[in-house]
Amino acid sequence: MDEFIGGVYDVIVVGAGHAGCEAALAAARMGCKTAVFCLNLDSIANMPCNPNIGGTAKGQLVREIDALGGQMGITADETFIQSKILNRGKGPAVYSLRAQIDRRAYHTRMKWVLENQENLDVKQAEVTEVLCENNKVKGIKVNTGTVYLCKAIVITTGTYLKGRIVIGNTSYSSGPDGLYPANKLSDSLRALGIELLRFKTGTPARINRRSIDFSKMVEQPGDDEIVPFSFMTDEVNDNQIVCYLTHTNNETHRIIHENLHRSPLYSGDIQGIGPRYCPSIEDKVVRFKEKESHQVFVEPMGLNTNEMYLQGMSTSMPEDVQIKMIRSLPGLENATIMRPAYAIEYDCIDPTQLKLSLELKTIDGLFFAGQVNGSSGYEEAAAQGIMAGINAVLKIKGREPLILDRSQAYIGVLIDDLVTKGIKEPYRMMTSRAEYRLWLRQDNADLRLTQIGYDVGLASEERYKRYIEKKEKIEAEFMRLKKTIIPPSKEINEFLRKYNSAQITSGIKLYDLLRRPEIEYHHLEEIGQAEDLPGQVKEQVTISIKYEGYLERQMNQIRQFKRMEERKLPEDIDYSKIQGLSTEARQKLNNQRPQSIGQASRISGVSPADISVLLIYLEAQKRKNKSNGEQIQDGKDKEQC
């Protein structure tokens, strides 16, 4: 009997977590007929771990997703319950917006957005097989046996592939939050020659708000002035909740040490590799013996639930040990667990098998995005999702892929790290990973990326119009500040004295005045020299002026970086035949097929000496090709004679 064809699409997205949502929306908004498949529609855009969006480096990713025309920032603005900017005391390069989210409201809103998106069908089914023909995707098969045909597939399965929950000595097959795992797709991927890895992550217990004594904790309020994630958001709600801070203590650590033999992390029951930068509480206590306490943030899961999240208490200890640990913390002496903490093991792929477009090197039209690529975090997933969705469409339309490099976006750093450097543990985005972070700030993401999003057909006309208006206002204000000269006067010098700034004896440009560290843009209002401009414009102008020297130095570094990226490597090059390369370099280069000298230099195992050999090889090939061209031309001239 012939297989039933359930539908024919341009793009099929497998999974509807944060990567899947962005991939599906991007593909549909760019005009392709798209379907997104989810094991359970009630888990769309689920937050199985911490119910927040943003944070250090992650806030930058959300802003970049938004600037390209993505959805995460908009939905976060609609459903946040507390907002704050992190790293305020460290300078604008590392400012990062973080919002506590109403988990259920976020899911509900994102599901509604998907359901109402033109060109997008939302379907509940387990995808069990990827269908290919002649190393090119053909479609998918679901658990009912139905086949759906397509031109491109984006796999965004998160932690569902052969998911296994571990709590103490208990383990069982499951996806996050007790949802069904995807147990068959891994075998299909392996059959296609895709190498899989086994990773592990975890989440803390949820406790009942009614069982907490908040008087023994420190309140953690949000910011008074709320900054939205999306450049399209005009109005934001007020902060509606307060988070709290408590700490582990000697008793907590004693309980952990006495029960380490019962931890599956140390007993060997957990085989998957966990994230170094988000360790379990037992791992923290063992690794950081010198620390007498560790922070634990108590955060609401939403406005209409009593569930509270214990950030910093991730564990896979048995439930009886979890209760003892939690009740040893100030304010949690009578805590009642609603959901126990757990570790989850899952299959993911080795991302070095991907191109920078996130397309698999060996199968045409098969893309991967999110935690299935070995990353961790909602924001990292969404960033990969939007790029995979964009590139799936560009592939279908016969256009060149969109590849953001390390100097253009945190998204570029994220994808380059995964694809070029590979992973040994779940990858987390951090500001320290971005060499050009003074340029890659969250405040200028729209100025960096909206034109790109518009050019590929994702950013809307309204978004583009706002971007142009903002850009024009910034440029006009720069010109005004550079042209306007303030003469010395008693009033001006009193103003300067007030802010401990050097007085003037001759005229000074407003531009130079604003370069002074102690003078901020809003101070200019006192001398009648501030324009009535949007806050984003004032922020851009101020940062650009105050950090002018540093930014120019960074731009010089970026120009040097670009020169290396522009030295393209031939796709058909056989590195095993290049004399002078180390054995490891030959293996790595042949395996990963870097697109440029710059990318090759970032591959683990490729040394500076190997890069020198490649540069010499390219130059020799260039001369050889030039010589061959001259000989051909000489032959043509003789024929004409």
Q: Could you give the C-alpha distances from 455 to 68, 154, 389, 635, in angstroms and in order?
A: 10, 22, 15, 44
- Tell me the Ramachandran region of residue 580: left when phi exceeds 0, alpha when psi lies from -120 to 50, beta otherwise: left
DSSP string computed for 270-288: --SBPPTTS--HHHHHHH-
The owner of tokens 């033109």 is 118
480-560 to CATH, choices 1.10.10.1800, 3.40.50.620, 1.10.357.10, 3.20.20.140: 1.10.10.1800
Return the residue matching tokens 């590929």. 456
The Cβ of residue 56 has, within 10 Å, a number of other Cβ atoms equal to 18
Helix axes 445-455 and 461-483, enclosed angle (nearest 10): 140
CB atoms under 10 Å from CB of 635, counted, come to 10
Location of each CATH 3.50.50.60 domain in the chain: 5-202+345-455
Question: Domain 5-202+345-455 belongs to what topology?
Answer: FAD/NAD(P)-binding domain (3.50.50)
Choosing among 3.90.76.10, 1.20.1600.10, 3.40.462.40, 1.10.150.570, the CATH entry for 569-640 is: 1.10.150.570
C-alpha closest to that of 212 among 129, 326, 120: 326
Q: Where in the chain is the domain with CATH 1.10.150.570?
A: 569-640
- Output helix, strand, coil percentages for the chain, rounded to the nearest 5: 45, 20, 40
Alpha helices in 202-338 (DSSP H): 250-258, 264-267, 281-287, 319-327
Q: How far, in Å, are 18, 354, 359, 381, 498 from residue 21 at the CA level?
A: 5, 21, 18, 10, 52
Phi, psi of 359 (to 5 degrees): -90, 140
Q: Identity (one letter) of the amino acid at 40?
A: N
- The predicted pLDDT at position 263 comes to 87
Tokens of 597: 């000298």
SS3 state at 298 = strand
CB atoms within 10 A of CB 220: 16
Q: Residue 608 is which amino acid?
A: P
Structure confidence at residue 91 (pLDDT): 83
Secondary structure element (H or E) that encloses residue 497, with its range: helix 490-498
The token duo for 341 is 């903490």
* Cα–Cα nearest to 90, from 518, 407, 431, 380: 431
Is pTM beyond 0.85 here?
Answer: yes
Looking only at the bridges linking them, the beta strands covering 307-311 and 337-339 are unpaired
Task: Measure the CA–CA gap between 505 and 106, rounded to whole angstroms.
Answer: 57
* 63-105 confidence digits (pLDDT tens): 999 999 999 999 999 999 999 999 888 888 889 999 999 999 9
Rounded to whole angstroms, the Cα distance separating 351 from 369 reads 9
Cα separation values, 67 from 97, 449, 466, Å: 15, 6, 11
Q: Which two tokens stand for residue 381?
A: 């997933």
**Two tokens, residue 562:** 């670009």
CATH 1.10.10.1800 domain extents, the chain? 480-560
Phi-psi category of residue 376: left, alpha or beta, with phi > 0 → left and psi -120 to 50 → alpha: beta
Given a cut of 70, the residues of the chain with pLDDT beneath it are: 1-2, 266-278, 628-641
Task: Please say whether the structural domain 206-343 has been given the CATH code 2.40.30.260.
Answer: yes
Helices 378-396/18-29 angle, 10° precision: 30
- Match 């030959």 to its residue by tokens: 586
Using CA atoms, how far residue 260 sits from 268, 286, 317, 319, in Å, is 11, 9, 8, 13
| Burial class, 71, CB count within 10 angstroms (exposed 0-12 / middle 13-18 / buried 19+) | buried
Residue 400 DSSP symbol: P
Cα–Cα distance for residue pair 93/90, rounded to 1 Å: 8
